[in-house]
């Protein structure tokens, strides 16, 4: 039996966004219990030339909504990228999951050969749907999700692999 493009994309992204939301809640709780300003975590980064926690979450959600839209042939929702609090990041994730919930299997299944073109900085990238999912979305989505998790861990938030996996 083969796996459908829908099954390989939308439920995977949704599950992992839910895990990311829970990890962020743990980050906020850590800041509260340790009596420091949550903005310290939100503006943290692993290395000076890397993005902040806020930007990592924004990019992870951008990858998810972009994937769902491109594979289903629908319009990519536009977000302002103005989140500054844990609550606003949670709302962004919730909004992204709500969009994923509007995408149906019959819109995505069969998109393996769909032509996907996107702009990445100065580069124009061209993919077929399956290659887009497996060689662009997965690596980018999980890179930014993992980096968000690692920023929190680096700053003392007690998290485990089970938290990352959503178990």
Say what the pLDDT of residue 27 is.
97
Which pTM was predicted? Answer: 0.96
Q: Which two tokens stand for residue 38?
A: 């949550």
Rounded to whole angstroms, the Cα distance separating 25 from 123 reads 35
Q: Which residues contact 68 (CB under 8 A, 6 or more apart)?
A: 9, 10, 13, 74, 99, 100, 103, 108
Counted domains in the chain: 1
Q: Is the pLDDT of residue 88 over 70?
A: yes
Q: Is the pLDDT of residue 56 over 70?
A: yes
Q: Which structural domain, as residue segments, surrounds residue 122?
A: 5-165
Q: What is the mean pLDDT of residues 97-120?
A: 96
Q: Is the pLDDT of residue 85 over 80?
A: yes
Cβ(28)–Cβ(34) below 8 Å: no
Say what the pLDDT of residue 35 is.
87
CATH assignment of the domain containing 146: 1.20.120.450
Q: Is the pLDDT of residue 1 over 70?
A: no
């Amino acid at each position: 039996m083969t796996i459908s493009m829908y099954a390989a994309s939308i439920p995977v992204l949704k599950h992992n966004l839910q895990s990311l939301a829970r990890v962020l809640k743990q980050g906020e709780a850590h800041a509260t219990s340790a009596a420091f300003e949550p903005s310290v975590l939100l503006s943290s980064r692993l290395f000076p030339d890397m993005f902040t926690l806020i930007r990592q979450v924004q990019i992870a959600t951008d990858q998810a909504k972009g994937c769902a839209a491109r594979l289903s042939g629908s319009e990519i929702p536009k977000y302002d990228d103005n989140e500054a609090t844990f609550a606003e990041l949670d709302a962004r994730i919730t909004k992204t999951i709500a969009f994923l919930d509007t995408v149906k299997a019959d819109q995505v299944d069969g998109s393996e050969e769909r032509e996907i073109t996107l702009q990445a900085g100065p580069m124009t990238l061209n993919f077929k749907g399956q290659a887009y999912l497996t060689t662009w979305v997965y690596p980018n989505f999980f890179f930014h999700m993992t980096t968000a998790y690692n920023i929190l861990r680096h700053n003392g938030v007690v998290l485990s692999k089970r938290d990352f996996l959503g178990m």
